[in-house]
Amino acid sequence: MKLFGKKKETKACCCGGNGTSQTMRNAENKKREKGIKILGSGCAKCMELERATRTALSELQLNYEVEHITDFAEIASYGVMATPAFVLDGEVISYGKVLTVEEVKVLLTKK
């Protein structure tokens, strides 16, 4: 009876195998898309950030597409560890706090 033997080596990915690489490719492609993305689970804070963003866009008369991303794998692909997050044209601008309408306006006019 062997108590201390060599561990079996496995080559499978800890994330689930082949389907994961396709998911990550899709997430990377989506990051390159233009527009505004709100990253978050859909909680009250995420919804508040989305409302503030839409209000700021309306007041500035800007035509950006706003997408709310709730998929945690996709959120992680942005490197975001705290939500809600505000992404503009693929770049994470803010995370971990709810921006006010005025703060969103400032960010949108800087771009």
pLDDT in tens, 10-35: 554 444 445 566 666 665 666 667 89
CA within 13 Å, CB half, 90: 8
pTM for this prediction:
0.73
Listed range (19-23, 48-52, 83-87, 93-97) with the worst mean pLDDT: 19-23
Using CA atoms, how far apart are residues 38 and 50, in angstroms rounded to an integer?
6
CATH architecture, domain 34-104: 3-Layer(aba) Sandwich (3.40)
Q: What is the DSSP letter of 52?
A: H
pLDDT averaged over the chain?
Answer: 83
Closest alpha carbon to 50 in 16, 78, 1, 87: 87
Using CA atoms, how far apart are residues 77 and 28, in angstroms rounded to an integer?
7
pLDDT of 59 above 50 = yes
Is residue 43 annotated as part of the catalytic site, yes or no? yes
Q: Which of 13, 14, 15, 46 is catalytic?
A: 46
Is residue 14 annotated as part of the catalytic site, yes or no? no
